[in-house]
A and B are shown apart, each in its own frame.
Chain A
């Protein structure tokens, strides 16, 4: 029983990363119709930025959690302004290829500058060790990762449902044409939304920094699982991305615990199942798929 609770927590903690990053992917797809393949690379940039800032200016983990997403927001704005924007009128495939190429470039630039064996990151004080609840020993960091990603997802949810900006973003996610017809300048929100999505990937990267290998390649596998998450949740569905993120985290953890040989396959079996029986994803609608 205690092991099961631990596996569940581990699954939710891993799911938190997926949920945060997938949320960014979903928002970008919703508003821009861009399938951003460079999301994994942006996750990597978040972790690398945290490590470099710690090394150079001694920036603490907690500060990096705020600063790095802001930096990544700027990166996202630049990406959108300089590159993505020009291909929006064309087939979405062009932007898919563009962001794919971009991620290869980002990975190679980081490799060139920081090598391939990775960057060190000191463990932040306070996240080490375990919390003891009764007979259960739970990793402090996992509890934190879990709660923190819940919190951020909750905040994003409030932002989307309770503010005017959020209303516009949701409206254009649902139907950009109709929103435009209502006299709302959707174009104005395109750049900040792209930046916001990238910032979320960066935030997931910072969270990963203390407890995962910070290498140029760290996003390459991550992005594959991320796409499985988004497909399971439903492309462009914001709630779907979050739910599927945690779901995939759990499936992965239980898979590793009870059928290790199939741990990675189960995610894709789940994806295949969803695509077969609900092609639009768990929370997607047919016409957006």
Chain B
């Protein structure tokens, strides 16, 4: 406990009289009383059992633990957060469960921040809880633009990507490379409709045309008819906006129909776990935008090696994103000397970040984190040199071009 004394002194200076009052109430054993409950609690709320389990799921906890270890190793005795806990919950991709779990995490488990939260509707529920409880939420895996648009708030950050970025990345770049005519196939629910709109805008803005928009039921396992329809106008590119199992169904049937030679396939949202589960030869040649790739450079690779040593698998961008979000949250606590939300927000806002996940990253005023993203092409089987070596980075899209400008709908 002695070792906490210098840190307490530093923190007292930083957080001023407000924190001093809290320190006084902490009692002799509490040491750094500038932390609520004497500890920092990171809440991981995601899909632990369903369709997004492999993509982030339980391994995201390991990524966050890696961030905690790195933080402690970096600051040692000077660390503001001496005790850091992770609490996890499974939201089953349902907004109502996400809502209750978030409430529970903030109120009863004393979570200072909630991380990850795949599925847009679930993330939006957590964002409104964050606003009500005045605690932080850093979204990594949900892609809705609403988090930094009409539903934006002071306590919510979007760390990795959104649908507009995917559309801008893939739509614009593919059109520029000659894929001017598109047919877009999308699942007929909120995410699919959102993606279809974003892609149509990106393709048209870049000078391309969208010949057909084809809605499909969700979920669906038979796409044969839709593929025939999409191909009927002879487009150069067929864009598919489905995710997870539906995406795999579509791609298998696309290849089976011999479409690979007729039109280029562009996928709206794809995770490396999708490529892994379907087998690289099924996806060969497919274009998509990736916020992060483990084998991009030595820096990413070194982190991916550490991750693999603990999990036996290569990280998806969601794993790296959760690491980065947790690490930067802890850094902000360190800088602020407290885990009080307002102070942490102050430390995070406008911060320029370069870490294993973010390149040329910046926390924008609307709390969207912008950074370089990558247009990737799936390698063909004979180009693959090792397990999980699936992506060839075609182009780096600079942070400034990758994301939409600050939305006029966002009022904090």
Residue in A closest to B252 when the chains form the complex, CB atoms: A211
Contact A117 B246 (CB under 8 A): no
Whether, in the assembled complex, B224 has its beta carbon less than 8 Å from a beta carbon of chain A, the answer is yes
Contact A142 B224 (CB under 8 A): yes
A115-B256 contact given A123-B282, A261-B188, CB 8 Å threshold = no
Residue in A closest to B261 when the chains form the complex, CB atoms: A129
Whether, in the assembled complex, B109 has its beta carbon less than 8 Å from a beta carbon of chain A, the answer is no
* A119–B252 alpha-carbon span in the complex (Å): 12
- Residue of B225, B228, B257 ringed by the most chain A CB atoms within 10 A: B225
Contact of B216 among A117, A215, A260 (CB under 8 A): A260
* A14–B214 alpha-carbon span in the complex (Å): 20
Whether, in the assembled complex, A253 has its beta carbon less than 8 Å from a beta carbon of chain B, the answer is yes
Within 8 A of B (CB), among A43-72: none
* A222–B219 alpha-carbon span in the complex (Å): 11
Q: Which of A5-13, A77-85, A161-169 lies at the interface?
A: A5-13
A14-B54 contact given A122-B281, A213-B252, A264-B217, CB 8 Å threshold = no
Total chain A interface residues with beta-carbon distance under 8 A: 42
CB distance from B92 to the nearest CB of A (A): 12
* A215–B229 alpha-carbon span in the complex (Å): 26
A121-B245 contact given A211-B256, A260-B216, CB 8 Å threshold = no
Contact of B226 among A11, A122, A256 (CB under 8 A): A256
* A78–B49 alpha-carbon span in the complex (Å): 28
Contact of B225 among A10, A130, A217, A218 (CB under 8 A): A10
Contact with B along A118-148 (1 / 0, CB 8 A): 1111110001111000000101011000000
Within 8 A of B (CB), among A225-270: 252-253, 256-257, 260-261, 263-264
Instruction: Give the tally of cross-chain contacts (CB within 8 A).
Output: 116
Q: Which of B1-9, B79-87, B192-200, B269-277 lies at the interface?
A: B269-277
Contact B226 A260 (CB under 8 A): yes
Residue in A closest to B250 when the chains form the complex, CB atoms: A213
Chain A residues near B279 (CB-CB < 8 A): 120-122
Contact with A along B245-274 (1 / 0, CB 8 A): 110110011011110000000000000011
* A10–B225 alpha-carbon span in the complex (Å): 7
- Residue of A14, A253, A263 ringed by the most chain B CB atoms within 10 A: A263
CB distance from B346 to the nearest CB of A (A): 39
Contact B258 A260 (CB under 8 A): no
Contact A260 B215 (CB under 8 A): yes
Whether, in the assembled complex, B312 has its beta carbon less than 8 Å from a beta carbon of chain A, the answer is no
CB distance from A1 to the nearest CB of B (A): 13
Contact with B along A11-32 (1 / 0, CB 8 A): 1011000000000000000000
Contact B188 A221 (CB under 8 A): no
Contact A128 B256 (CB under 8 A): yes
Contact B258 A13 (CB under 8 A): no
Contact of A212 among B188, B225, B249, B281 (CB under 8 A): B249
Contact B278 A120 (CB under 8 A): yes
A119-B245 contact given A130-B257, A211-B252, CB 8 Å threshold = no
Contact A263 B256 (CB under 8 A): no
- Residue of B50, B253, B255, B257 ringed by the most chain A CB atoms within 10 A: B257
Whether, in the assembled complex, B350 has its beta carbon less than 8 Å from a beta carbon of chain A, the answer is no
- Residue of A117, A128, A256 ringed by the most chain B CB atoms within 10 A: A117
Residue in B closest to A115 when the chains form the complex, CB atoms: B54
Contact B224 A14 (CB under 8 A): yes
Chain A residues near B276 (CB-CB < 8 A): 117, 120
Chain A residues near B273 (CB-CB < 8 A): 117
* A227–B214 alpha-carbon span in the complex (Å): 28
Contact A222 B221 (CB under 8 A): yes
* A116–B276 alpha-carbon span in the complex (Å): 12
Contact of A117 among B51, B188, B215, B225 (CB under 8 A): B51
A213-B257 contact given A117-B55, A221-B219, CB 8 Å threshold = no
Contact surface of B with A, Cβ cutoff 8 Å: 49-55, 188, 214-217, 219-222, 224-226, 228-229, 232, 244-246, 248-249, 252-253, 255-258, 273-274, 276-279, 281-282
Given known contacts A118-B248, A118-B277, A212-B222, what 13 new A-B pairs fall within 8 Å (CB)?
A: A10-B225, A14-B224, A111-B49, A115-B53, A115-B54, A117-B51, A121-B279, A128-B258, A210-B256, A213-B245, A213-B249, A260-B214, A260-B226
The 15 sampled A-B contact pairs (Cβ below 8 Å) are A7-B225, A10-B225, A14-B222, A115-B53, A119-B277, A120-B282, A130-B257, A139-B256, A210-B256, A212-B222, A213-B245, A217-B245, A218-B245, A256-B216, A257-B225
The 9 closest A-B pairs by CB, nearest first: A120-B279, A213-B248, A256-B225, A10-B224, A118-B277, A117-B277, A117-B54, A213-B245, A264-B217
